Amino acid sequence: MALQHKVFVYGTLKRGQPNREFMAAAAHGRGRFLSERHTKEQYSLVIAGRFNFPFCINKQGHGKRIKGELWEVDDERLQNLDLVEDAPMFYQQNLRVICLEDGREMEAFMYQLSNYKESLLSLPCLDDYDSEGAHNLPHRPHKITPAETMLLMHKILGTTDHLVGAEVIPA
């Protein structure tokens, strides 16, 4: 199957980061690293939540040009990325302009939060995520239940009002 999709990753999926194995594993479809690049537009890249997730907020012009990696992937890898990123329920897969080394521009899919608490915009904004960076907020590996995942997503999105009385039982 052809590598027909361009994807821009900026967080734990980058090479050298905690979830890098996903992008390298053949079991998730085919893909190949193209180069390190940055977004044309500015976005807020913040670290939040009890597991210190990096989030890119879908609000153009707020934040910094984000550095990341440009990958070429097949349909299967793109579908598996949607599962990992819980798109479209949590992240949305958006086409964004990525700047190439020679000055040209290319569109690539980028996973971003479109529904979020405004307070996320007040967090320190990064231009380049590194789990072990100077921010002192390393990504924490986690195993959580589907109920905990749902509750975490709703807390980050600020939509917990309807979850009053919901109980999360640790695994």
Q: What is the rounded average pLDDT of the residues 42-66? A: 92
Q: What is the pLDDT of residue 169?
A: 33
pLDDT for 167: 40
Residues carrying an active site annotation: 85
Mean pLDDT in residue range 82-111: 91
Helix or strand run (H / E) with residue 154: helix 146-157
Cα 84 from Cα 149, distance rounded (Å): 12
Residue 44's pLDDT is 96
Tell me the pTM. Answer: 0.82
Most confident listed range (14-18, 107-111, 118-122): 107-111
Query: Contact 110/8 with Cβ under 8 angstroms?
Result: yes
What mean pLDDT comes out for the span 144-155?
Answer: 58
